Amino acid sequence: MTQPDSYVQRLRRLDCCAVSDALDKLQLPGVVTGLPQRSGAGRIAGRAITVKLGTGAPPAGPVRHLGCTAIEAAGPDHIIVVEQRSGVEAGSWGGLLSLGAKVRGVAGVVADGPVRDIDEAIAFDFPVFSRGLTSFTARGRVVEKGTNVPVEIADVTVAGGDYVLADRSAVIFIAASDIERVLDTAEAIVLKESAMSKAILAGTPIGQVMGGNYEHMLKD
């Protein structure tokens, strides 16, 4: 039995704003906005299984619907990350895929492109974050170009095995090689902000709490 990824467990305890601050401090890319949560509730975290979609002929081999290979490779510590930036309005994800992923225990889906059947994903309580919504099928419009190949999500390149965190503020991608230092930095930021919250609750004026120390916190 596969052991849970300890980095994923730590990432689940953080919100996107804290991790965004950590990336700022470390001068690393990875924050993507404009991919709102369309279904499911709450934060998701996991390792990326990527799916690249595009136009033209699919790769040679047996015919398979887009996303199926990724779902069959995924589990609770995974998020499926889909690139559909072809310019063709066509679903990059749909209802049967949401059901299949839900059955596998997949943490969720992030799609830079439109998704369809979102009411089904809502009914399944399956988390989907996407650039847009559509009713148009992928059939005859876009095909899968590869699974676990590099994909472009906004201006961030994501590889299979990278780490993903998503909530209502943003979607964040962290290269596997950077995950430990990003987590360490974000956890330190959370501790500092927790102390500030306690000070505010204890009656310290907010202007005093959020003074020079707060403004320069990411430079320390």
The highest-level CATH class for domain 6-177 is: alpha beta
**pTM, two decimal places:** 0.93
pLDDT for 215: 72
Band of residue 1 on the pLDDT scale cut at 50, 70, 90: very low
Enter the DSSP assignment of 59: P
Choose among 87, 78, 85: nearest CA to 53: 85
Q: Is the dihedral of CA 45, 46, 48, 49 positive or negative?
A: negative
Choose among 46, 48, 49, 50: nearest CA to 145: 50
The arithmetic mean of pLDDT across residues 18-25, rounded, is 97
Enter the DSSP assignment of 165: E
CA distance between the termini of the chain: 42
Does pLDDT of 123 surpass 80? Answer: yes
147 — phi, psi (to 5°)? Answer: -115, 140
d(CA 194, CA 5): 26
| pLDDT tens readout for residues 157-215 | 999 999 999 999 999 999 999 999 999 999 999 999 999 999 999 999 999 888 867 77
Query: Which residue's structure tokens are 């949401």?
Result: 98
**Greater confidence, 60 or 8?**
8
Band of residue 58 on the pLDDT scale cut at 50, 70, 90: confident
Query: Treating both helix axes as pointing N-terminal to C-terminal, what angle do 16-26 and 179-201 enclose, rounded to 10 degrees?
Result: 120
Domain coordinates in residue numbering, the chain = 6-177, 182-219
| pLDDT tens readout for residues 130-170 | 999 999 999 999 999 999 999 999 999 999 999 999 999 99
pLDDT for 59: 78
